[in-house]
């Protein structure tokens, strides 16, 4: 039987990364590069819900990924993996709120989304194992 904690940590970060990426793909004004890729794969219809995606869903999915990676640290005790997993959503939330007024915040946002997706793909390829038995 799989315990709910590791399952939430395993699925939550991937769901958070995918949700944040899809939410960003629907915001053509804020993220034109990601929105053009989203429109190319058929997500152009999301542009009419841009305020909901940017103000509600993007921070919600980033928060989900942040919590899932923090829980993953408690279950697996791999601090490097947890630090990389927490860094992406934390930078995304910082770039959306306190750093939004600066011109370089869009670069941080793109980097944070790329880091979230890279960590989720790495986690699929190399699943974490518990470091210690205690």
Scanning 1-134, the segments in alpha helix (DSSP H) are 4-25, 32-40, 50-52, 58-76, 79-96, 105-125
Average pLDDT per block of 10 residues along the chain, 134 residues long: 61 83 80 83 82 85 87 75 88 88 86 89 77 55
Site of tokens 């991937």: 14
- CA distances 79 to 10, 57, 71, 82, 129, Å, are 15, 28, 11, 5, 12
Please indicate, yes or no, whether the overall pTM of this predicted structure exceeds 0.75. yes
């Amino acid at each position: 039987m799989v315990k709910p904690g590791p399952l939430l940590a395993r699925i939550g970060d991937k769901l958070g990364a995918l949700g944040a990426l899809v939410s960003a793909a629907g915001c053509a004004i804020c993220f034109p590069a990601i929105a053009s890729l989203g429109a190319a794969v058929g997500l152009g219809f999301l542009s009419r819900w841009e305020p909901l995606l940017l103000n509600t869903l993007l921070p919600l999915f980033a928060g989900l990924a942040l919590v899932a990676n923090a829980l993953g640290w408690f279950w697996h005790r791999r601090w490097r993996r947890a630090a990389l997993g927490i860094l992406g959503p934390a930078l995304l939330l910082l770039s959306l709120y306190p750093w939004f007024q600066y011109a370089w915040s869009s670069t941080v946002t793109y980097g944070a989304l790329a880091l979230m997706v890279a960590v989720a793909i790495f986690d699929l390829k190399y699943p974490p194992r518990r470091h210690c038995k205690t």
